[in-house]
A and B are shown apart, each in its own frame.
Chain A
Amino acid sequence: MTQPLTYFKETPSQTAGPYVHIGCTPNFSGLEGVYATDLGTKMLNDDTEGTRITIRGRVLDGTGTPIKDALVEIWQADVKGLYNSPTELRGQADPNFTGWGRCPSDMTSGEFVFETVKPGQVPFKDGRLMAPHVTLWIVARGINIGLQTRMYFSDEEAANADDPILARIEHRHRVSTLIGTKAGNEYTFDIHLQGDNETVFFDI
């Protein structure tokens, strides 16, 4: 016999369902008057440091059809590579940048859009720098447990080549599923839930 090893089990996930907006972006769902604004719609203000960028994309199902009831959240560092979080102990992140955004996919086109800044580099555990990236979390009807992934930047080829996370992807052609494509100040990042172009999702 030994002492019992007692840990709780993580509460099981359940799908966010088709009406996730009621709880997370009620104004978007037509439920107005409870919260003044939907949380996560604004990441920036006029004083935010860094290069303004737009991230635009869709979440596509196994037939290539854009999902119109998804909710996408992003989490990223500021221009200096610092997170606006109490668990960030390396320094004070830009107080004018939340680092967190939430966007429901458009009910007609399925598109999500984030107005943000390009993040700086954040160190990996061994001190090497990871390439600039944005973490994404996707929930929707039919998704039993939230999907986590990252978007890297197509104009950061050298940093991407040295990134310790991207280096862990065995099938090298799949790395491209994590790269947002730059056109002007806009990056396009479609998320494929299935198929030949299935996005690399993380268990992290």
Chain B
Amino acid sequence: MSNQKPETGAFFQRDRNWQPDAYTPKYKTSILRSPQKPLLSLDGTLSEVTGPVFGHNLLGELDNDLLLNFSKDGQTPVGERIVVHGRVLDERGVPVKGTLVEFWQANAGGRYRHKKETYLAPLDPNFGGCGRTITDENGGYCFRTVKPGAYPWPNGVNDWRPAHIHFSLFGHGFSQRLITQMYFEGDPLIWKCPIVQSIGDKDAINQLIAPLDMASAIPMDSLAYKFDIILRGRRSTLFENRREGN
């Protein structure tokens, strides 16, 4: 880690036109789970500009290797082998270093390994479906896995989720916390999905679609997708009238 003093400015206002609304009735579950009263809009305080940070001692050797982290006897899961990589930056383009990234997904058949999951596609004995890593000095991260399958879900009679990987990000302050989903270039289900359509702006949806990245594919081994993630930017505190250390 560098000796540079950490930044402590408050975060940029969240663009609620770019982010999904809470109430998006075509995604039925949102109807009863969306706040209806106005949010209380406030500039961040110390409680929001600080946040937990996790050290590398947290990570196991296979935490970013979903091909092996649930493998039995060294066997790898069924499915298209892929590398997913990218950078975590803030809205200013500043790399978000040393931050925990967690990811989870269904197997190649679209089945999750979860107590409550009942889809008829089979579990894969060699696939768990969770991983994590910590971004490097450039905000970079990578992991390898299999491409998840699409699956049906109870919303409309015949709604299907496009193939996707869930991501959880911490950033450097608790108000940078973000959960999102990465989709795959060229998947026609993306544009039919009520969860995707909770986002109103097409350019915002495109921000969630990872392109195939042949430059990072590993010959005779794995394809690759590149997914950059942007967290809220933070203001400079240079000209702010604050008490020392605040």
Contact = CB atoms under 8 A, between A and B. Distances in A.
A145 B19 CA distance: 8
How extensive is the interface on chain B, given as a class? 35 or more
Contact of B37 (A9, A143, A198): A198
Given A87-B51, A87-B172, A144-B24, A130 B33 contact: no
B233 A143 contact: no
Contact of A22 (B30, B112, B229): B112
A202 B39 contact: yes
Chain A facing B: main interface SS: loop
A33 B37 contact: no
Contacts of B168: 16, 23-24
A144 B230 contact: no
B91 A33 contact: no
Interface in B212-246: 229-233, 242-243, 245-246
A203 B16 contact: yes
How extensive is the interface on chain A, given as a class? 35 or more
Given A90-B245, A204-B175, A10 B130 contact: no
A95 interface: no
A20 interface: yes
Given A10-B15, A88-B50, A31 B114 contact: yes
Contacts of A150: 47
Given A31-B129, A87-B172, A133-B47, A204 B42 contact: yes
Nearest to B165: A23
Contacts of A185: none
B158 interface: no
B142 to A, nearest CB: 17
A135 B51 CA distance: 11
B125 interface: no
Chain B facing A: main interface SS: loop
A130 B53 CA distance: 24
Contact of A15 (B21, B195, B230, B231): B195
A63 interface: yes
Given A90-B245, A140-B33, A9 B230 contact: yes
A169 B20 CA distance: 24
A125 B10 CA distance: 10
A165 B42 contact: yes
A194 B207 contact: no
B69 interface: yes
B65 to A, nearest CB: 10
Given A12-B205, A17-B166, A87-B172, A203 B41 contact: yes
Contacts of A141: 29, 33
Nearest to B169: A11
Interface string A63-107: 100010100010111000001111111100000001110000001
B117 interface: yes
Given A125-B246, A144-B30, 13 more contacts: A8-B91, A9-B207, A12-B204, A31-B129, A77-B47, A84-B52, A85-B173, A89-B6, A99-B52, A107-B116, A125-B45, A142-B29, A193-B32
Q: Can you list the 8 inter-chain pairs with the closest CB atoms, starting with the nearest?
A: A23-B104, A142-B29, A142-B33, A100-B52, A85-B50, A62-B32, A203-B39, A83-B50
